[in-house]
Amino acid sequence: MKAILGKLRPSKRLVVILAAAFGVSAASGAAAVYVGRDALMEQMSKPATSGLECTLVRTVKLGHHGQRWVRMHIKTDRADGEARMRTALRVVGALSKSEKADLYQVVVLDAAGPEERAAVRGAAIGAQVLFAPGPQSVPGMDERFRASYNDGTANSAGFFHGNTVDLSVADIGGMMAGMDDRSPCIDPNAIAVEGEAAPDVAAAEHKAESAEAPAGH
């Protein structure tokens, strides 16, 4: 065996060729790993088409001049504006399938934000959606949807201080068309409230502070 191994000593030229070949192979493998990692990171950085996991804070059910209006407050954990918006649209869709109403409102809060109804206003709101299946019967609703989100990041107290982005009907339709998940939020201890004052939808337009009116303040 030793004699055979002794006869298999490669020449210097072969050693150089093999070293070069292994070097190219290793470099190609490293490049493939790097490209694969970049592609994975890019995929991870894209917002989920159906939004994020969320937690239900409360559901408020209102009677207003013979109509039924349902409002829901939910929370997400450190989500960007678009992800919050997608989450709100997914949840309002799920809500409309489980509850019969003339007007639905979903308000997205940060996980660190306030939970009291009186505090769900202004900078505490990360995104919100108003949906009226028959908008002609709801005062202040010219379209079936109104949706907006704050493009800022929540601070440690759960407040947003960015700009309010209002979505067009086309933007809303595009987001909802690509959703592959229609699940509602996790409901650890929902609070159902009956008989709260109805929201003033017309006063809700174009400002994050608008939620103060829908929240009944």
Does residue 201 carry a pLDDT above 70? no
Confidence label for 72 from pLDDT (cuts 50, 70 and 90): very high
The reported pTM is 0.68
Residue 202, pLDDT score: 46
The share of the chain scoring above pLDDT 70, in percent, equals 65
Residue 188, pLDDT score: 84
Consecutive H or E run containing 40: helix 12-45
- What angle do helix axes 169-177 and 81-98 make, rounded to 10 degrees? 80
Average predicted confidence (pLDDT) for the chain:
77
Nearest to 199 by CA among 58, 68, 57, 55: 68
Using an 8 Å Cβ cutoff, are 100 and 68 in contact? Answer: yes
| φ, ψ (nearest 5 deg) of residue 93 | -65, -45
Query: Which residues make beta-bridge pairs with 55?
Result: 75, 186
- The per-residue pLDDT for range 10-33, each reduced to its tens digit, is 444 443 443 444 344 444 444 334
- The per-residue pLDDT for range 136-178, each reduced to its tens digit, is 999 989 999 999 999 999 999 999 999 999 999 999 999 998 8
Confidence label for 79 from pLDDT (cuts 50, 70 and 90): confident
Q: List Cα–Cα distances, 63 to 60, 70, 143, 146, in angstroms.
A: 10, 9, 21, 21
Does residue 39 carry a pLDDT above 60? no
Average pLDDT over residues 43-62: 80
The Cα–Cα gap between 119 and 107 comes to: 12
Does residue 214 carry a pLDDT above 60? no
| Residue corresponding to tokens 């917002």 | 47
Higher pLDDT, 212 or 89: 89
Three-state SS at 178: coil
Higher pLDDT, 136 or 208: 136
Higher pLDDT, 187 or 197: 187
